[in-house]
Amino acid sequence: MTVYEKLLPCRSEEYRAFQSKLVPTISKDTILGVRTPDMRKIAKEIKETEEAEAFLKELPHAYYEENLVHFFLIAMIKDFDDCIKQVEIFLPYVDCWPVCDQASPKVFTKNHDRFLPFIKKWLESEHVYTVRFGIRMLMNEFLGEDFRPEYLAWVASVNGGDYYIRMMVAWFFATALAKRYDESIVYIEQRRLAPWIHKKTIQKAIESFRVSDEHKAYLKTMRF
């Protein structure tokens, strides 16, 4: 039974209609209407099998859910070299924000030194979702103990007017304001971000439960 055939019994027309509104960049015809827990279950059932190995080679996929299962499989790969290889093969086929945002390979957390050059390369890509994935990985993995102030500059200098890149930059800086306030607040004070991103960053930070009330009050004074 193929991954597509495994997905079919999990379809919901109601969820398909709901999901298509959240993902306007792809055709509704490519959405089956399968919920994330069902897709993760399928990925877990076939991981490390010949079926999974064959499926990872079947690019491009026809359906949105197949892409998600694909990335969920990659995220479970335990060998860094194999995982990063599969990510690089797959990223050019990522065509929407949910596929980009829902997979986070755990092996990357244990290999920051080896992982960082790939992030730097992805930030310079011309492919929207490769850039977005790179920013998200930098946000997830490098705002903690391995943080360096230069990472803020990397993201601030990302080129691209695409909405999904700009939104990710704002998300990154809002998270940085929660985790690395002293280093990141200067980007707001000195208005180093594009106006739209500046406003969206403040909005997201104010909405975040991880930003203190004192910092939120100050950020409100930084609105244009």
Query: According to the model, what pLDDT value does residue 29 have?
Result: 97
Helices 163-179 and 128-141: crossing angle in degrees, nearest 10, is 10
End residue of a domain, out of 110, 139, 159: 110
Specify whether 103 is located in the same domain as 192: no
Token duo for residue 178: 């929660």
Query: According to the model, what pLDDT value does residue 128 have?
Result: 97
Specify whether 92 is located in the same domain as 163: no
Q: What gap in Å lies between CA 80 and CA 47, rounded to an integer?
A: 16
Specify whether 221 is located in the same domain as 121: yes
Specify whether 53 is located in the same domain as 80: yes
Chain segment 166-176, per-residue pLDDT in tens: 999 999 999 99
Specify whether 101 is located in the same domain as 169: no
DSSP letter (8 states) at residue 125: -
Query: According to the model, what pLDDT value does residue 161 have?
Result: 84
Q: Which domain holds residue 11?
A: 1-110
Q: In which element (H, E) is residue 174 found? A: helix 163-179
Is the Cβ–Cβ distance between 75 and 114 less than 8 Å? no
Specify whether 126 is located in the same domain as 24: no
For residue 221, give the amino acid letter.
T
Q: What gap in Å lies between CA 95 and CA 25, rounded to an integer?
A: 8
Is the Cβ–Cβ distance between 33 and 13 less than 8 Å? yes
Q: What gap in Å lies between CA 93 and CA 76, rounded to an integer?
A: 19
Structurally, the chain folds into a number of domains equal to 2
Token duo for residue 64: 């949105």
Q: What gap in Å lies between CA 44 and CA 166, rounded to an integer?
A: 33
Specify whether 118 is located in the same domain as 105: no
From the CB of residue 191, how many other CB atoms can be counted at a distance below 10 Å? 11
Q: What gap in Å lies between CA 131 and CA 158, rounded to an integer?
A: 8
Specify whether 117 is located in the same domain as 221: yes
End residue of a domain, out of 110, 126, 155: 110
Chain segment 13-34, per-residue pLDDT in tens: 999 999 999 999 999 999 999 9
Per run of 10 residues, the mean pLDDT along the chain (length 224 residues) is 96 96 96 98 96 96 98 97 98 97 95 97 96 98 96 93 96 98 97 96 97 96 88
Map tokens 């990302």 to a residue. 158
pTM: 0.96
Specify whether 116 is located in the same domain as 217: yes
User: Please, is 1 exposed, middle or buried when counting C-beta atoms within 10 Å of its C-beta (0-12, 13-18, 19+)?
Assistant: exposed
End residue of a domain, out of 110, 133, 158: 110
Specify whether 88 is located in the same domain as 8: yes
Q: Which residues of 60-82 are buried (b: 16+ CB within 10 A; e: fewer)?
A: ebebbbbbbbbbbbbbbbeeeee
Q: What gap in Å lies between CA 69 and CA 103, rounded to an integer?
A: 9
Specify whether 95 is located in the same domain as 150: no
Specify whether 123 is located in the same domain as 81: no
CATH classification of the domain holding 139: 1.25.40.290
Q: What gap in Å lies between CA 93 and CA 103, rounded to an integer?
A: 14
Token duo for residue 90: 């797959």
